Structure 1
Amino acid sequence: MRIETDDLADYFLAETLDGLYTPYALRMPAGDGPHPFVFVAYGNGGGGLEWLRDRVHRFRHVTDVLLEAGYACAWTRYRTEVELGYETGGELRTDVRQGMELMSRAPLEYEDEVAILRHVAKLPGIDGDRLFHLGVSHAGEMLFKLLSQYHGLLRAGVAAEPASHELLTLNLHDDEKVSVTDGLRDIETLEMRSVERARRAITDPDEVSRRLDGVDIPVLVLGREQDELQGIFRLTYELLAEKRADAEWRTWSHDIHGYIYPEGEPDDVQREALEVIVDFFDRHRG
Protein backbone atom coordinates (compact mmCIF):
# COMPACT_ATOMS: atom_id res chain seq x y z
CA MET A 1 0.00 0.00 0.00
CA ARG A 2 1.57 3.30 -1.13
CA ILE A 3 0.97 6.05 1.44
CA GLU A 4 3.01 9.01 0.17
CA THR A 5 5.61 10.18 -2.33
CA ASP A 6 8.34 12.80 -2.15
CA ASP A 7 11.09 13.92 -4.50
CA LEU A 8 13.22 10.84 -3.79
CA ALA A 9 11.02 7.87 -2.89
CA ASP A 10 7.61 6.25 -2.77
CA TYR A 11 6.61 5.25 0.76
CA PHE A 12 4.79 1.96 1.24
CA LEU A 13 3.30 0.00 4.12
CA ALA A 14 3.83 -3.77 4.15
CA GLU A 15 1.50 -5.93 6.22
CA THR A 16 3.46 -7.65 8.97
CA LEU A 17 3.07 -11.32 9.88
CA ASP A 18 0.61 -10.38 12.63
CA GLY A 19 -1.51 -8.05 10.50
CA LEU A 20 -0.06 -4.64 11.41
CA TYR A 21 2.04 -2.50 9.06
CA THR A 22 5.70 -1.53 8.66
CA PRO A 23 7.03 1.17 6.29
CA TYR A 24 9.66 1.26 3.60
CA ALA A 25 10.75 3.90 1.08
CA LEU A 26 11.23 2.55 -2.44
CA ARG A 27 13.44 4.04 -5.14
CA MET A 28 13.36 2.65 -8.68
CA PRO A 29 16.07 2.88 -11.37
CA ALA A 30 15.38 4.02 -14.91
CA GLY A 31 13.70 1.59 -17.27
CA ASP A 32 10.72 -0.72 -17.10
CA GLY A 33 12.38 -3.61 -15.33
CA PRO A 34 11.84 -6.01 -13.79
CA HIS A 35 14.62 -4.77 -11.55
CA PRO A 36 16.55 -6.63 -8.86
CA PHE A 37 15.94 -5.17 -5.40
CA VAL A 38 18.17 -4.36 -2.42
CA PHE A 39 16.71 -4.14 1.10
CA VAL A 40 18.70 -1.43 2.96
CA ALA A 41 18.68 -1.49 6.78
CA TYR A 42 20.57 0.02 9.68
CA GLY A 43 20.62 -0.83 13.36
CA ASN A 44 17.74 -1.48 15.70
CA GLY A 45 14.12 -0.72 14.83
CA GLY A 46 11.65 1.92 15.87
CA GLY A 47 11.32 5.52 14.78
CA GLY A 48 8.65 4.89 12.18
CA LEU A 49 8.08 7.18 9.21
CA GLU A 50 9.94 10.14 10.71
CA TRP A 51 13.13 8.07 10.98
CA LEU A 52 12.58 6.66 7.50
CA ARG A 53 12.12 10.05 5.81
CA ASP A 54 15.27 11.37 7.46
CA ARG A 55 17.30 8.34 6.43
CA VAL A 56 16.12 8.48 2.83
CA HIS A 57 17.27 12.07 2.41
CA ARG A 58 20.26 12.40 4.73
CA PHE A 59 21.85 9.10 3.72
CA ARG A 60 20.76 8.98 0.10
CA HIS A 61 24.20 8.21 -1.35
CA VAL A 62 23.98 4.45 -0.88
CA THR A 63 20.67 4.31 -2.75
CA ASP A 64 22.04 6.60 -5.48
CA VAL A 65 24.86 4.09 -6.00
CA LEU A 66 22.45 1.15 -6.12
CA LEU A 67 20.14 2.93 -8.57
CA GLU A 68 23.04 3.73 -10.88
CA ALA A 69 23.97 0.03 -10.83
CA GLY A 70 20.42 -0.90 -11.89
CA TYR A 71 18.98 -1.97 -8.54
CA ALA A 72 15.66 -0.91 -7.07
CA CYS A 73 16.23 -0.31 -3.38
CA ALA A 74 14.49 0.77 -0.21
CA TRP A 75 15.43 2.18 3.14
CA THR A 76 13.33 0.17 5.59
CA ARG A 77 11.93 0.41 9.11
CA TYR A 78 10.82 -2.35 11.44
CA ARG A 79 9.78 -2.86 15.03
CA THR A 80 12.18 -2.41 17.94
CA GLU A 81 14.41 -5.30 18.98
CA VAL A 82 13.19 -7.44 21.89
CA GLU A 83 15.98 -8.26 24.32
CA LEU A 84 16.96 -11.91 23.66
CA GLY A 85 13.68 -12.44 21.80
CA TYR A 86 15.41 -14.53 19.16
CA GLU A 87 17.17 -16.62 21.79
CA THR A 88 14.15 -17.34 23.97
CA GLY A 89 11.27 -17.22 21.49
CA GLY A 90 12.21 -19.98 19.09
CA GLU A 91 10.82 -20.18 15.59
CA LEU A 92 7.47 -18.53 15.01
CA ARG A 93 4.66 -21.08 14.71
CA THR A 94 1.09 -20.37 13.71
CA ASP A 95 -2.18 -22.24 14.09
CA VAL A 96 -5.90 -21.44 13.91
CA ARG A 97 -8.33 -20.98 16.80
CA GLN A 98 -11.99 -20.06 16.28
CA GLY A 99 -11.23 -19.35 12.66
CA MET A 100 -8.49 -16.81 13.48
CA GLU A 101 -4.71 -17.07 13.53
CA LEU A 102 -2.82 -17.88 16.74
CA MET A 103 0.95 -17.42 17.12
CA SER A 104 3.48 -19.01 19.44
CA ARG A 105 4.99 -15.56 20.02
CA ALA A 106 4.84 -12.06 18.58
CA PRO A 107 6.84 -11.50 15.39
CA LEU A 108 10.30 -9.99 15.87
CA GLU A 109 12.08 -7.24 13.97
CA TYR A 110 13.69 -9.54 11.39
CA GLU A 111 10.23 -10.89 10.60
CA ASP A 112 9.19 -7.40 9.58
CA GLU A 113 12.01 -7.72 7.07
CA VAL A 114 10.37 -10.91 5.81
CA ALA A 115 7.08 -9.03 5.42
CA ILE A 116 8.70 -6.20 3.45
CA LEU A 117 10.56 -8.60 1.17
CA ARG A 118 7.38 -10.52 0.41
CA HIS A 119 5.53 -7.25 -0.28
CA VAL A 120 8.24 -5.82 -2.54
CA ALA A 121 8.48 -9.07 -4.51
CA LYS A 122 4.90 -8.58 -5.73
CA LEU A 123 5.31 -4.97 -6.93
CA PRO A 124 5.29 -4.15 -10.65
CA GLY A 125 8.79 -3.57 -11.94
CA ILE A 126 10.48 -5.71 -9.27
CA ASP A 127 12.09 -9.07 -10.02
CA GLY A 128 10.89 -11.10 -7.04
CA ASP A 129 13.48 -13.79 -7.71
CA ARG A 130 16.38 -11.36 -7.30
CA LEU A 131 16.09 -9.83 -3.84
CA PHE A 132 19.21 -8.81 -1.90
CA HIS A 133 19.87 -7.62 1.66
CA LEU A 134 22.24 -4.92 2.91
CA GLY A 135 22.33 -4.52 6.70
CA VAL A 136 24.64 -2.69 9.11
CA SER A 137 25.25 -3.36 12.81
CA HIS A 138 22.15 -4.94 14.38
CA ALA A 139 20.65 -5.19 10.88
CA GLY A 140 23.68 -7.25 9.88
CA GLU A 141 22.86 -9.76 12.60
CA MET A 142 19.21 -9.61 11.55
CA LEU A 143 20.19 -10.98 8.14
CA PHE A 144 21.51 -14.16 9.78
CA LYS A 145 18.50 -14.45 12.09
CA LEU A 146 16.21 -14.20 9.08
CA LEU A 147 18.18 -16.79 7.13
CA SER A 148 18.22 -19.23 10.04
CA GLN A 149 14.40 -19.48 9.99
CA TYR A 150 13.14 -18.27 6.58
CA HIS A 151 14.49 -19.73 3.37
CA GLY A 152 14.24 -18.95 -0.32
CA LEU A 153 13.64 -15.19 -0.01
CA LEU A 154 17.04 -13.76 -0.90
CA ARG A 155 19.64 -14.16 -3.64
CA ALA A 156 22.60 -12.84 -1.58
CA GLY A 157 23.28 -10.56 1.39
CA VAL A 158 25.82 -8.22 2.96
CA ALA A 159 26.25 -8.11 6.74
CA ALA A 160 28.31 -5.02 7.59
CA GLU A 161 29.72 -4.82 11.12
CA PRO A 162 27.19 -7.46 12.27
CA ALA A 163 26.47 -7.21 16.01
CA SER A 164 26.02 -10.98 16.30
CA HIS A 165 26.00 -11.32 20.09
CA GLU A 166 22.68 -13.13 20.24
CA LEU A 167 23.12 -15.16 17.07
CA LEU A 168 26.42 -16.54 18.38
CA THR A 169 25.07 -17.18 21.93
CA LEU A 170 27.87 -15.04 23.41
CA ASN A 171 28.11 -14.98 27.20
CA LEU A 172 28.30 -11.31 28.17
CA HIS A 173 27.13 -11.64 31.77
CA ASP A 174 30.63 -11.79 33.22
CA ASP A 175 31.96 -8.84 31.25
CA GLU A 176 32.66 -5.91 33.57
CA LYS A 177 31.60 -3.47 30.85
CA VAL A 178 28.13 -5.00 30.51
CA SER A 179 25.42 -4.05 33.00
CA VAL A 180 21.86 -5.36 33.32
CA THR A 181 18.94 -3.21 34.45
CA ASP A 182 15.41 -4.61 34.67
CA GLY A 183 16.46 -7.53 32.49
CA LEU A 184 17.90 -5.32 29.71
CA ARG A 185 21.61 -5.52 28.95
CA ASP A 186 23.65 -2.37 28.35
CA ILE A 187 26.45 -3.34 25.95
CA GLU A 188 27.28 0.14 24.65
CA THR A 189 30.82 -0.02 26.07
CA LEU A 190 31.49 -3.70 25.31
CA GLU A 191 34.87 -4.42 23.73
CA MET A 192 35.60 -7.68 21.91
CA ARG A 193 38.32 -6.97 19.39
CA SER A 194 39.83 -10.45 19.55
CA VAL A 195 38.37 -13.34 17.53
CA GLU A 196 39.74 -15.77 20.10
CA ARG A 197 37.99 -13.99 22.95
CA ALA A 198 34.72 -13.91 21.02
CA ARG A 199 35.03 -17.62 20.21
CA ARG A 200 35.58 -18.45 23.89
CA ALA A 201 32.38 -16.55 24.75
CA ILE A 202 30.14 -18.88 22.70
CA THR A 203 27.89 -20.78 25.11
CA ASP A 204 26.15 -23.18 22.71
CA PRO A 205 28.30 -24.07 19.68
CA ASP A 206 25.83 -26.73 18.50
CA GLU A 207 23.01 -24.20 18.38
CA VAL A 208 25.21 -21.68 16.55
CA SER A 209 26.07 -24.37 14.02
CA ARG A 210 22.39 -25.18 13.53
CA ARG A 211 21.55 -21.52 12.98
CA LEU A 212 24.28 -21.07 10.39
CA ASP A 213 23.17 -24.27 8.63
CA GLY A 214 20.10 -22.26 7.67
CA VAL A 215 22.13 -19.76 5.62
CA ASP A 216 21.17 -20.66 2.06
CA ILE A 217 22.76 -17.76 0.16
CA PRO A 218 26.21 -16.20 -0.34
CA VAL A 219 26.97 -13.61 2.35
CA LEU A 220 29.66 -10.93 2.35
CA VAL A 221 30.67 -9.92 5.90
CA LEU A 222 32.29 -6.51 6.35
CA GLY A 223 34.42 -5.45 9.29
CA ARG A 224 35.90 -2.18 10.55
CA GLU A 225 39.46 -2.19 11.86
CA GLN A 226 38.88 0.30 14.70
CA ASP A 227 35.63 -1.19 15.93
CA GLU A 228 35.42 -2.44 19.51
CA LEU A 229 33.52 -5.50 18.23
CA GLN A 230 35.77 -6.42 15.32
CA GLY A 231 36.36 -9.83 16.90
CA ILE A 232 32.63 -10.57 16.70
CA PHE A 233 32.45 -9.41 13.07
CA ARG A 234 35.37 -11.62 12.06
CA LEU A 235 34.13 -14.62 14.07
CA THR A 236 30.74 -14.36 12.33
CA TYR A 237 32.54 -14.69 9.01
CA GLU A 238 34.84 -17.52 10.14
CA LEU A 239 31.99 -19.64 11.46
CA LEU A 240 30.00 -19.03 8.27
CA ALA A 241 33.02 -19.89 6.11
CA GLU A 242 33.18 -23.28 7.83
CA LYS A 243 29.71 -23.90 6.37
CA ARG A 244 29.84 -22.20 2.99
CA ALA A 245 32.70 -21.79 0.52
CA ASP A 246 31.01 -18.70 -0.95
CA ALA A 247 31.22 -16.69 2.28
CA GLU A 248 33.36 -13.56 1.81
CA TRP A 249 35.15 -11.12 4.12
CA ARG A 250 36.41 -7.57 3.63
CA THR A 251 37.44 -5.01 6.20
CA TRP A 252 38.52 -1.37 6.09
CA SER A 253 39.93 1.24 8.43
CA HIS A 254 37.35 3.98 9.07
CA ASP A 255 36.31 6.19 11.97
CA ILE A 256 32.54 5.84 11.48
CA HIS A 257 30.42 2.88 12.54
CA GLY A 258 28.17 2.27 9.55
CA TYR A 259 30.70 3.77 7.14
CA ILE A 260 29.09 2.14 4.10
CA TYR A 261 26.21 4.61 4.50
CA PRO A 262 27.87 7.99 3.86
CA GLU A 263 26.16 11.15 4.99
CA GLY A 264 27.02 13.63 2.24
CA GLU A 265 30.03 13.24 -0.02
CA PRO A 266 31.76 9.84 0.45
CA ASP A 267 35.47 9.46 1.10
CA ASP A 268 37.76 7.02 -0.71
CA VAL A 269 37.15 4.15 1.71
CA GLN A 270 33.39 4.54 1.45
CA ARG A 271 33.54 4.62 -2.34
CA GLU A 272 35.67 1.47 -2.44
CA ALA A 273 33.42 -0.36 0.02
CA LEU A 274 30.30 0.46 -2.00
CA GLU A 275 32.03 -0.67 -5.19
CA VAL A 276 32.81 -4.00 -3.50
CA ILE A 277 29.19 -4.35 -2.37
CA VAL A 278 27.78 -3.65 -5.84
CA ASP A 279 30.27 -6.06 -7.38
CA PHE A 280 29.20 -8.74 -4.88
CA PHE A 281 25.53 -8.26 -5.77
CA ASP A 282 26.34 -8.21 -9.48
CA ARG A 283 28.18 -11.54 -9.24
CA HIS A 284 25.11 -13.14 -7.70
CA ARG A 285 22.54 -11.31 -9.79
CA GLY A 286 22.11 -14.16 -12.26
Structure 2
Amino acid sequence: MMDAFQTDELADYLLAETLDGLYTPYALRLPPGTGPHPFVFIAYGNGGGGFSWLRDRVHRFRHVTDVLLEAGYACAWSRYRTEVELGYQTGGPLKTDIRQGMELMSRAPLEYEDEVAVLRHVAGHPAIDGERLFHLGVSHAGEMLFKMLSQYAGLLRAGVAAEPASHEFLTLRLDDPSVTTTDGLRNIETLEIRSVDRARARITDPGEVSRRLDGVDIPILVLGRDQDELQGVFRLTYDLLAEKRADAEWRSWSHDIHGYIYPETDAGGVLHIDEVQREALAVIVDFFNRHRA
Protein backbone atom coordinates (compact mmCIF):
# COMPACT_ATOMS: atom_id res chain seq x y z
CA MET A 1 0.00 0.00 0.00
CA MET A 2 1.29 3.46 -0.85
CA ASP A 3 1.34 5.83 2.12
CA ALA A 4 0.16 9.41 1.71
CA PHE A 5 2.35 12.10 3.25
CA GLN A 6 -0.78 14.13 3.94
CA THR A 7 -4.53 13.59 3.75
CA ASP A 8 -7.44 15.99 3.90
CA GLU A 9 -11.20 15.70 3.39
CA LEU A 10 -10.84 15.54 -0.40
CA ALA A 11 -7.60 13.77 -1.31
CA ASP A 12 -4.59 11.73 -0.31
CA TYR A 13 -1.33 13.51 -1.16
CA LEU A 14 1.41 11.23 -2.44
CA LEU A 15 4.95 11.68 -3.76
CA ALA A 16 6.21 10.20 -7.01
CA GLU A 17 9.94 9.84 -7.51
CA THR A 18 10.97 11.88 -10.57
CA LEU A 19 13.31 10.56 -13.24
CA ASP A 20 16.26 12.29 -11.54
CA GLY A 21 15.48 11.01 -8.06
CA LEU A 22 13.61 13.96 -6.56
CA TYR A 23 9.89 13.95 -5.74
CA THR A 24 6.77 15.56 -7.16
CA PRO A 25 3.38 15.59 -5.36
CA TYR A 26 -0.01 14.54 -6.58
CA ALA A 27 -3.42 14.51 -4.89
CA LEU A 28 -5.27 11.25 -5.44
CA ARG A 29 -9.02 10.80 -5.19
CA LEU A 30 -10.63 7.36 -5.43
CA PRO A 31 -14.23 6.45 -6.29
CA PRO A 32 -16.18 4.04 -4.09
CA GLY A 33 -15.26 0.37 -4.26
CA THR A 34 -12.02 -1.54 -4.11
CA GLY A 35 -11.10 -1.21 -7.76
CA PRO A 36 -8.86 -1.44 -9.59
CA HIS A 37 -10.14 1.83 -11.05
CA PRO A 38 -9.19 3.58 -14.29
CA PHE A 39 -7.26 6.77 -13.57
CA VAL A 40 -7.23 10.31 -15.01
CA PHE A 41 -4.19 12.59 -14.60
CA ILE A 42 -5.46 16.21 -14.42
CA ALA A 43 -3.16 19.14 -15.25
CA TYR A 44 -3.33 22.84 -15.94
CA GLY A 45 -0.80 25.24 -17.36
CA ASN A 46 2.85 25.66 -16.49
CA GLY A 47 4.54 24.10 -13.47
CA GLY A 48 5.85 25.53 -10.24
CA GLY A 49 3.86 26.76 -7.27
CA GLY A 50 4.59 23.73 -5.12
CA PHE A 51 2.33 22.05 -2.63
CA SER A 52 0.30 25.19 -1.84
CA TRP A 53 -0.72 25.42 -5.51
CA LEU A 54 -1.72 21.76 -5.48
CA ARG A 55 -3.90 22.07 -2.37
CA ASP A 56 -5.61 25.15 -3.79
CA ARG A 57 -6.29 23.39 -7.07
CA VAL A 58 -7.71 20.33 -5.35
CA HIS A 59 -10.21 22.39 -3.39
CA ARG A 60 -11.03 25.36 -5.64
CA PHE A 61 -11.36 23.23 -8.79
CA ARG A 62 -12.76 20.10 -7.20
CA HIS A 63 -15.74 19.83 -9.56
CA VAL A 64 -13.84 18.16 -12.38
CA THR A 65 -12.70 15.47 -9.95
CA ASP A 66 -16.24 15.10 -8.59
CA VAL A 67 -17.47 14.48 -12.14
CA LEU A 68 -14.76 11.90 -12.81
CA LEU A 69 -15.36 10.12 -9.50
CA GLU A 70 -19.06 9.87 -10.27
CA ALA A 71 -18.16 8.29 -13.60
CA GLY A 72 -16.01 5.68 -11.83
CA TYR A 73 -12.55 7.17 -12.42
CA ALA A 74 -9.83 7.68 -9.88
CA CYS A 75 -8.11 10.97 -10.58
CA ALA A 76 -5.40 13.31 -9.38
CA TRP A 77 -4.27 16.87 -9.70
CA SER A 78 -0.48 16.99 -9.81
CA ARG A 79 2.29 19.54 -9.50
CA TYR A 80 5.35 19.41 -11.72
CA ARG A 81 8.46 21.48 -12.27
CA THR A 82 8.43 24.81 -14.10
CA GLU A 83 8.65 24.89 -17.89
CA VAL A 84 12.10 25.51 -19.36
CA GLU A 85 12.04 27.93 -22.28
CA LEU A 86 12.48 25.80 -25.45
CA GLY A 87 13.74 22.93 -23.32
CA TYR A 88 11.80 20.41 -25.38
CA GLN A 89 12.96 21.90 -28.68
CA THR A 90 16.65 22.08 -27.81
CA GLY A 91 17.06 19.22 -25.36
CA GLY A 92 15.88 16.27 -27.41
CA PRO A 93 14.83 12.94 -25.88
CA LEU A 94 16.25 12.26 -22.42
CA LYS A 95 19.13 9.77 -22.50
CA THR A 96 20.55 8.05 -19.42
CA ASP A 97 23.67 6.01 -18.78
CA ILE A 98 25.77 4.86 -15.84
CA ARG A 99 29.01 6.53 -14.72
CA GLN A 100 30.88 5.37 -11.62
CA GLY A 101 27.84 3.37 -10.56
CA MET A 102 25.43 6.32 -10.74
CA GLU A 103 23.13 7.74 -13.39
CA LEU A 104 24.20 10.37 -15.89
CA MET A 105 21.62 12.22 -18.00
CA SER A 106 21.89 14.05 -21.29
CA ARG A 107 19.79 16.86 -19.80
CA ALA A 108 17.63 17.54 -16.78
CA PRO A 109 14.12 16.09 -16.88
CA LEU A 110 11.43 18.51 -18.06
CA GLU A 111 7.95 19.19 -16.70
CA TYR A 112 6.19 16.59 -18.86
CA GLU A 113 8.60 13.98 -17.52
CA ASP A 114 7.27 14.64 -14.03
CA GLU A 115 3.93 13.58 -15.50
CA VAL A 116 5.62 10.37 -16.65
CA ALA A 117 6.85 9.83 -13.09
CA VAL A 118 3.39 10.31 -11.60
CA LEU A 119 1.77 8.00 -14.13
CA ARG A 120 4.32 5.27 -13.46
CA HIS A 121 3.92 5.72 -9.71
CA VAL A 122 0.13 5.71 -9.60
CA ALA A 123 0.05 2.67 -11.91
CA GLY A 124 1.51 0.71 -8.98
CA HIS A 125 -1.26 1.73 -6.58
CA PRO A 126 -3.36 -1.31 -5.58
CA ALA A 127 -6.61 0.57 -6.27
CA ILE A 128 -5.54 1.72 -9.78
CA ASP A 129 -5.72 -0.21 -13.04
CA GLY A 130 -2.30 0.56 -14.51
CA GLU A 131 -3.51 -0.48 -17.97
CA ARG A 132 -6.21 2.19 -18.04
CA LEU A 133 -4.52 5.55 -17.49
CA PHE A 134 -5.88 8.74 -19.08
CA HIS A 135 -4.71 12.34 -19.34
CA LEU A 136 -6.63 15.62 -19.15
CA GLY A 137 -4.56 18.76 -19.73
CA VAL A 138 -5.40 22.42 -20.37
CA SER A 139 -3.27 25.10 -22.06
CA HIS A 140 0.44 24.35 -21.61
CA ALA A 141 -0.57 21.02 -20.05
CA GLY A 142 -2.38 20.20 -23.30
CA GLU A 143 0.88 20.68 -25.18
CA MET A 144 2.66 18.64 -22.51
CA LEU A 145 0.50 15.65 -23.45
CA PHE A 146 1.84 15.76 -27.01
CA LYS A 147 5.43 16.28 -25.85
CA MET A 148 5.18 13.30 -23.51
CA LEU A 149 3.66 11.03 -26.14
CA SER A 150 6.33 11.96 -28.69
CA GLN A 151 9.04 10.52 -26.41
CA TYR A 152 7.34 7.99 -24.10
CA ALA A 153 5.21 5.22 -25.59
CA GLY A 154 2.71 2.93 -23.94
CA LEU A 155 1.76 5.08 -20.95
CA LEU A 156 -1.85 6.05 -21.66
CA ARG A 157 -5.14 4.71 -22.96
CA ALA A 158 -6.44 8.07 -24.28
CA GLY A 159 -6.05 11.80 -23.64
CA VAL A 160 -7.78 15.17 -23.83
CA ALA A 161 -5.79 18.27 -24.84
CA ALA A 162 -7.91 21.33 -24.05
CA GLU A 163 -6.80 24.63 -25.58
CA PRO A 164 -3.30 23.19 -26.15
CA ALA A 165 -0.66 25.91 -26.44
CA SER A 166 1.34 23.78 -28.87
CA HIS A 167 3.57 26.45 -30.40
CA GLU A 168 6.81 24.75 -29.33
CA PHE A 169 5.64 21.25 -30.24
CA LEU A 170 4.61 22.53 -33.69
CA THR A 171 7.88 24.49 -34.17
CA LEU A 172 5.93 27.69 -34.76
CA ARG A 173 7.85 30.84 -35.67
CA LEU A 174 6.93 33.51 -33.13
CA ASP A 175 8.26 36.65 -34.78
CA ASP A 176 5.09 38.62 -34.11
CA PRO A 177 5.79 42.24 -33.04
CA SER A 178 3.84 41.58 -29.84
CA VAL A 179 6.33 38.90 -28.74
CA THR A 180 9.19 40.37 -26.73
CA THR A 181 12.27 38.57 -25.43
CA THR A 182 14.11 39.40 -22.21
CA ASP A 183 17.21 37.46 -21.13
CA GLY A 184 16.30 34.74 -23.61
CA LEU A 185 12.75 34.32 -22.30
CA ARG A 186 9.89 35.07 -24.68
CA ASN A 187 6.73 36.83 -23.56
CA ILE A 188 3.86 35.49 -25.68
CA GLU A 189 0.99 36.69 -23.48
CA THR A 190 -0.34 38.97 -26.24
CA LEU A 191 0.32 36.63 -29.18
CA GLU A 192 -2.66 36.19 -31.53
CA ILE A 193 -2.94 33.30 -33.99
CA ARG A 194 -6.65 32.91 -34.55
CA SER A 195 -6.64 31.27 -38.00
CA VAL A 196 -5.38 27.81 -38.92
CA ASP A 197 -3.74 29.15 -42.09
CA ARG A 198 -1.78 31.71 -40.09
CA ALA A 199 -0.65 29.01 -37.68
CA ARG A 200 0.29 26.54 -40.42
CA ALA A 201 2.35 29.18 -42.24
CA ARG A 202 4.48 29.57 -39.11
CA ILE A 203 5.65 25.94 -38.92
CA THR A 204 9.45 25.99 -39.29
CA ASP A 205 10.16 22.24 -39.44
CA PRO A 206 7.27 20.20 -40.91
CA GLY A 207 9.33 17.01 -40.98
CA GLU A 208 10.11 17.23 -37.27
CA VAL A 209 6.48 17.94 -36.42
CA SER A 210 5.48 14.87 -38.43
CA ARG A 211 8.01 12.73 -36.57
CA ARG A 212 6.75 14.01 -33.22
CA LEU A 213 3.16 13.20 -34.12
CA ASP A 214 4.19 9.71 -35.19
CA GLY A 215 4.83 9.06 -31.50
CA VAL A 216 1.19 9.67 -30.57
CA ASP A 217 -0.05 6.15 -29.85
CA ILE A 218 -3.48 6.91 -28.36
CA PRO A 219 -6.77 8.58 -29.33
CA ILE A 220 -6.81 12.28 -28.44
CA LEU A 221 -9.72 14.67 -28.14
CA VAL A 222 -8.59 18.26 -28.82
CA LEU A 223 -10.79 21.01 -27.39
CA GLY A 224 -10.78 24.59 -28.62
CA ARG A 225 -12.34 27.84 -27.46
CA ASP A 226 -14.00 29.77 -30.25
CA GLN A 227 -12.85 33.27 -29.31
CA ASP A 228 -9.40 32.38 -27.99
CA GLU A 229 -6.48 34.32 -29.44
CA LEU A 230 -4.68 31.00 -30.09
CA GLN A 231 -7.62 29.12 -31.59
CA GLY A 232 -5.64 28.70 -34.81
CA VAL A 233 -2.95 26.82 -32.87
CA PHE A 234 -5.53 24.62 -31.15
CA ARG A 235 -7.21 23.71 -34.43
CA LEU A 236 -3.92 23.16 -36.26
CA THR A 237 -2.86 20.75 -33.51
CA TYR A 238 -5.98 18.73 -34.22
CA ASP A 239 -5.71 18.99 -38.01
CA LEU A 240 -2.14 17.69 -38.08
CA LEU A 241 -3.00 14.90 -35.65
CA ALA A 242 -6.04 13.93 -37.75
CA GLU A 243 -3.75 13.52 -40.76
CA LYS A 244 -1.99 10.79 -38.75
CA ARG A 245 -4.82 9.18 -36.77
CA ALA A 246 -8.43 8.54 -37.74
CA ASP A 247 -9.41 8.44 -34.05
CA ALA A 248 -8.48 12.08 -33.38
CA GLU A 249 -11.48 14.19 -32.33
CA TRP A 250 -12.24 17.93 -32.17
CA ARG A 251 -14.79 19.98 -30.26
CA SER A 252 -14.93 23.69 -29.56
CA TRP A 253 -17.25 25.95 -27.58
CA SER A 254 -17.67 29.67 -27.05
CA HIS A 255 -16.71 30.62 -23.50
CA ASP A 256 -15.14 33.59 -21.75
CA ILE A 257 -12.79 31.58 -19.52
CA HIS A 258 -9.51 30.06 -20.62
CA GLY A 259 -9.60 26.63 -18.97
CA TYR A 260 -13.41 26.55 -18.96
CA ILE A 261 -13.50 22.78 -18.46
CA TYR A 262 -12.40 23.35 -14.85
CA PRO A 263 -15.33 25.15 -13.16
CA GLU A 264 -14.45 26.94 -9.95
CA THR A 265 -15.87 26.47 -6.45
CA ASP A 266 -15.65 29.62 -4.34
CA ALA A 267 -14.50 29.93 -0.73
CA GLY A 268 -18.08 29.49 0.45
CA GLY A 269 -18.37 26.14 -1.32
CA VAL A 270 -20.57 27.45 -4.14
CA LEU A 271 -19.89 25.95 -7.57
CA HIS A 272 -19.89 28.40 -10.49
CA ILE A 273 -20.76 26.47 -13.63
CA ASP A 274 -22.74 27.07 -16.80
CA GLU A 275 -24.26 24.85 -19.45
CA VAL A 276 -21.24 25.04 -21.76
CA GLN A 277 -19.02 23.73 -18.98
CA ARG A 278 -21.48 20.97 -18.13
CA GLU A 279 -21.66 19.92 -21.78
CA ALA A 280 -17.88 19.98 -22.21
CA LEU A 281 -17.35 17.81 -19.13
CA ALA A 282 -19.98 15.36 -20.36
CA VAL A 283 -18.17 15.14 -23.72
CA ILE A 284 -14.86 14.47 -21.93
CA VAL A 285 -16.34 11.69 -19.79
CA ASP A 286 -18.00 10.15 -22.85
CA PHE A 287 -14.66 10.22 -24.69
CA PHE A 288 -12.89 8.46 -21.82
CA ASN A 289 -15.73 5.93 -21.51
CA ARG A 290 -15.48 5.03 -25.19
CA HIS A 291 -11.80 4.15 -24.71
CA ARG A 292 -12.09 2.62 -21.27
CA ALA A 293 -12.74 -1.01 -22.19
Shift of 1:124: 1.1
Match of 1:266 in 2: 273
CA deviation map 1:142-190 (0-9, x unaligned): 0000000000000000000000010000000x21010000000000000
1:155 aligns with 2:162: no
CA deviation map 1:34-85 (0-9, x unaligned): 0000000000000111000000000000000000000000001100000000
What secondary structure is seen at the aligned counterpart in 1 of 2:32? coil
Shift of 1:266: 1.4
Question: How far apart in 2 are the matches of 1:129 and 1:48?
Answer: 29
| Superposition map of 1:13-32 within 5 A | 13-32=15-34
Match of 1:93 in 2: 95
What secondary structure is seen at the aligned counterpart in 2 of 1:242? helix
Amino acid at match of 1:143: L
Question: How far apart in 2 are the matches of 1:22 and 1:169?
Answer: 28
Match of 2:190 in 1: 189
What secondary structure is seen at the aligned counterpart in 2 of 1:245? coil
Match of 1:5 in 2: 7
What secondary structure is seen at the aligned counterpart in 2 of 1:29? coil
CA deviation map 1:245-286 (0-9, x unaligned): 000000000000000000023110000000000000000001
TM-score, normalisation: structure 2: 0.97
Question: How far apart in 2 are the matches of 1:109 and 1:216?
Answer: 20
| Superposition map of 1:25-174 within 5 A | 25-172=27-174, 174=175
1:241 aligns with 2:242: yes
Please, which runs of 5 or more residues in structure 2 have no aligned partner? 265-270
Match of 2:268 in 1: none
Amino acid at match of 2:221: L
Question: How far apart in 2 are the matches of 1:93 and 1:154?
Answer: 21
CA deviation map 1:183-225 (0-9, x unaligned): 0000000000010000000000000000000000000000000
Amino acid at match of 2:287: F
262-271 or 206-215, which deviates more: 262-271
Question: How far apart in 2 are the matches of 1:55 and 1:109?
Answer: 18
| Superposition map of 1:243-258 within 5 A | 243-258=244-259
Aligned residues: 285
Q: CA RMSD in A?
A: 0.5
Q: Which stretches of structure 1, 4 residues or more, deviate above 4 A after TM superposition?
A: none
Question: How far apart in 1 are the matches of 2:204 and 2:87?
Answer: 17
Question: How far apart in 2 are the matches of 1:48 and 1:18?
Answer: 18
Please, which runs of 5 or more residues in structure 1 have no aligned partner? none
Question: How far apart in 1 are the matches of 2:15 and 2:117?
Answer: 10
What secondary structure is seen at the aligned counterpart in 2 of 1:234? helix
Question: How far apart in 1 are the matches of 2:272 and 2:235?
Answer: 28
